[in-house]
Structure 1
Amino acid sequence: MANLVVHFEIHATEPQRLVDFYSSLLGWKFEQFGEMGYWSIDTGDGSTRNSPQQAGFGINGGLTKRQGPAPAPGSPVMGADLVVAVDDVDGLFAKALQLGATEAVAPNDMQGVGRLAYLLDPDGNVFGLLSSMLSDGTNQMVADGLADESAPAALDSRSDGTNPLVADGLSEETNPMAADGL
C-alpha cells in the first residue's frame, strides 16, 4: 500500500478567525465536532472522502485549537505546510492579504512546476498557492506534455477527468515536480 497523505490539520489560536479566513479565501466548509475545539474541513468537489468507492485528487483536513502560542513572526516553520492547487495564484494571493494574511514568498514562476506563492495565515501558519499557469500564460502541464490544452490551471485533471500525474503512471524520473524536489 502506498503511504499517501490523506488528511491535514491547521492549528489555530483563535479557531473562528481561521474558519472565516479559509472559508472566505478558498471556499472551504467547516463543521465543528460538538463542543470540541476541532472542525472538519471539506476542501470541495474532487477531494477524497476517506472512501475507497469515491475517487479524488485532493484531501480534506481539520482545524484544531492550538495548544500553545502561535508562531512568532520570523520564526522557523514548526511542522508541515500545505500547498493548495488554484487557478489564479496572483488573485488569491491579493485576496489573502486583504483577509489578513502576510506575504512569505511573493508569486513567482518556477519552470517545470508552475506559479507558486507562500503566505502566513492570520495565525502565522505557512501555506502555499500553486497553479500550472505561468505569468506569461503558458500552462506548465501542457508545456511538459502532462495534460492537453483544456487542462485547468489548478493541476488537478485533464478534460476527461483523469489526473495526468496518476493516469500516466509517472515515476520520480519523469515527474517534473519530483525531479525538482517538490
Structure 2
Amino acid sequence: MSLDEPGRAWVFGDDIDTDQITPSRFIVSTDPEELATHAFNDLRPEFSANVSEGEFLVAGENFGGGSSREHAPLSLIGAGVDGVVAQSFARIFFRNAINLGLPVMICPDADRIDDGDEISLDLDAGVVHNHETDEAYDAEPLPPFLQELVDEGGLKPYTKRKLGTAD
C-alpha cells in the first residue's frame, strides 16, 4: 500500500502516551470524529482545529504508551490522519492502530523529519519520503498479514470479509 500523496507532518517527541493523544477526560465516546476534536488537547491544542485529511504524525521513541484503550488511534482516524511514523511504538498502540486500519511505520530516521515537512509513505517497500529534503528513509514494512488488515480497514472488516458477512 502506498500513501504516495504528500501530506504535512505533525512532529511529536519521545514517550507520547495515549493520555496525551486523547486525554482520558474526553473518552466518554467511541465516535472517531468526536474523539478527534480532543486529540492532543493538552499537548498541542492547535492540532484538532488545524489537522487535515491526508496528513501524518511523526514521533520519536515509544509513541502510544500508556493505556490499552483504542480511543487514541480512533481519534487520529477521526482527525483524518493517514498514518503514523515513529522511531518506535508502544506495542499496544501499534496493535490497536493495525486492528483499526491506521497505518503505522517504524522508521529509525523519523527524527530527521521536521514539523510541517511534506511526506509520503510506501508501506509495501518500507520507505518514508520527505519531499522537503528529497530524502527517503528506510522503515520497517509491515508483514503481509498486518498489511492485509490495514488494507481492509482493520480487523473487523477483515474478519467480516473472511466470514462472508461483509456489508
Pick the structure with more strand per residue: 1
The answer to which structure, 1 or 2, has the higher relative contact order (CA under 8 A, 6+ apart) is 2
Fold conserved (TM > 0.5)?
no
Pick the structure with more helix per residue: 2
